[in-house]
Amino acid sequence: MLGAAWLGSFLPASLPALAAAHWPAEWARHLSAGWPATAPVVRYALGWLIVGALLRSLPGAARAWRTLALAAGTMLVLRFTWLVSDAGNAEIAGAALALAAWPAAERLPGAWLERLLAAAAAAAVLYAHLAPHGAAAHAHGWHWMPFTDLAGPGGAGLQVGPLCGRLFWYGALVWLLVAAGLGAWTAGLGVAAAVLLVEAVHLGAAGSVQYATTTDPAIALGVGLVIALLARGSAAR
């Protein structure tokens, strides 16, 4: 589920036409853009490393690097062909950095990889919350009903890409904390409470953000519940 959410986070708001004739011009634009900013490169690299940790937890962990490389390569091909107008150079740099770092990361003993990734994911989530929200269409205040801040244009449907991205980051943080040794409910409740607190503090700072939402805490609680139920079902068997 979390791996699919990461891949889904690359989807744009609407799928463009398959206009291959325009690809060379877009590639030239990306080449002229030069090296991307550090923050998005680190974020993409961290996302792929978390996917690697997810793969390592499955049977066939010895093939994690090959599966990770295949997933990253396939997504980059898709992003820089069909979805090239929405792509960014940070995606290439981040995937390359993650693939280069993975052989060393997977050699870390015990749950150290999950602990380090949990700390990095928590920092990334905090950084995202401290930055101003980009959705100026939302009024200043709370969105108490989860997922209402992800409504598409005109309030119809949900924006799939942003929804998948938030499901990945908050769900992955809960999963990493559980993999590092915390209980599922403790991790889910802890992440939800921390996010609510940061949202409230940030919203209270004058002019800092347009709105705050309960979507992210709801995702954290939901993932914690799913992990707890899966663990209970596995223990029953």
**Beta-strand (E) ranges in the chain?**
141-143, 211-213
Residues facing 52 on adjacent strands: none
Cα–Cα dist 114/105, whole Å: 10
Per-range mean pLDDT, top range of 54-58, 164-168, 233-237: 164-168
Cα–Cα dist 125/114, whole Å: 16
Give me the pLDDT at residue 137, please: 43
Residues facing 151 on adjacent strands: 158
Give me the pLDDT at residue 236, please: 61
Per-range mean pLDDT, top range of 5-9, 57-61, 141-145: 5-9
Give me the pLDDT at residue 171, please: 94
- Domain range summary for the chain, segments of one domain joined by +: 1-107, 111-237
Give me the pLDDT at residue 8, please: 94
Give me the pLDDT at residue 154, please: 56
- Say which residues have a Cβ less than 8 Å from residue 168's Cβ, sequence separation at least 6: 2, 5, 6, 8, 9, 47, 50
Whether residue 172 has pLDDT greater than 70 = yes
Q: Among 7-16, 24-33, 153-162, which stretch is predicted with the lowest mean pLDDT? A: 153-162
**Structure confidence by residue, pLDDT tens digits, 25-35:** 999 999 998 88
157: number of CA atoms within 13 Å, CB side?
A: 8
Q: Which residue has the higher pLDDT, 150 or 1?
A: 1
Whether residue 71 has pLDDT greater than 90 = yes
Q: Give the chain's mean pLDDT.
A: 85
User: Collapsing DSSP states into helix, strand and coil, what is residue 212?
Assistant: strand
Give me the pLDDT at residue 134, please: 46
Whether residue 205 has pLDDT greater than 60 = no
Average pLDDT over residues 204-232: 79
Residues 93, 36 contacting (CB under 8 angstroms): yes
Structure-block tokens of residue 207: 């002019």
Burial 97-106 (b: 16+ CB within 10 A, else e): bbbeebeebb
Residue type, 172: A
Average pLDDT over residues 8-36: 90
Residues 102, 49 contacting (CB under 8 angstroms): yes
DSSP per-residue codes, 88-113: -HHHHHHHHHHHHHHHHHTTS-TTHH
Q: Please choose, from the candidates 162, 166, 205, 192, the residue with its C-alpha nearest in 3D space to the C-alpha of residue 13.
A: 162
Average pLDDT over residues 10-23: 87
**Residue 117 backbone zone (phi > 0: left; psi -120 to 50: alpha; other: beta):** alpha
Crossing angle of helices 112-130 and 160-179, rounded to 10°: 140
Phi, psi of 166 (to 5 degrees): -75, -35
**Structure confidence by residue, pLDDT tens digits, 82-123:** 999 999 999 999 999 999 999 999 888 878 999 999 999 999
Report the Cα 223 to chain-centroid distance in Å: 14
